[in-house]
Amino acid sequence: MSEAPCQTEETVGLFAGQHVLAELSGVSADLLDDEQFLRHALGEVLTQADATVLEVISKKFDPQGVTVLALLSESHASIHTYPEVGSVFVDVFTCGTRAKPALAVQLLADALGAAHVSTDLVTRGLKEHAA
């Protein structure tokens, strides 16, 4: 039987989650234009943060920039790079309580060597269960 969206082993059917929106800056332009590195890095940090990665897709743009999307059992994650300014937008939403989206963002910032990290956390759904 397949799981419905936003289900985890601990919280089947829980309509609650955390959405981390981040901006990373001070990152090497070369890293931000390396599609394969970014795909691998996003998949790895999500796994380390206890998310279940189902699929990763990406698109490299001309003359520069990469978008990477990860489909998760717990929801999704995305990165959109701007090598010309050494910055990247990151979006990680996970429902339930097992996955740790803030940890995924911090691990990605570390992997990219970001000099500056700005994050916003949005609690979604049933607020009392999303911690």
80 is catalytic: yes
The H-or-E segment that residue 97 falls in is none
Beta bridge partners of 1: none
**DSSP code, position 11:** S
CA triple 30-36-76, angle to 5 deg = 110
The active-site residue, picked from 75, 76, 118, 129, is 75
Contact by Cβ (8 Å): 8, 107? no
Residue 75 is among the residues annotated as catalytic for this protein: yes
Token pair of 104 as six digits: 């995924």
Catalytic residue among 6, 73, 87, 95: 95
Q: How far out from the chain centre does Cα 23 lie?
A: 12
For residue 95, is it left (φ>0), alpha (ψ between -120 and 50) or beta? beta
Active site residue 95: yes
Which residue of the set 80, 87, 118, 129 is catalytic? 80
Known catalytic residues are 75, 80, 95
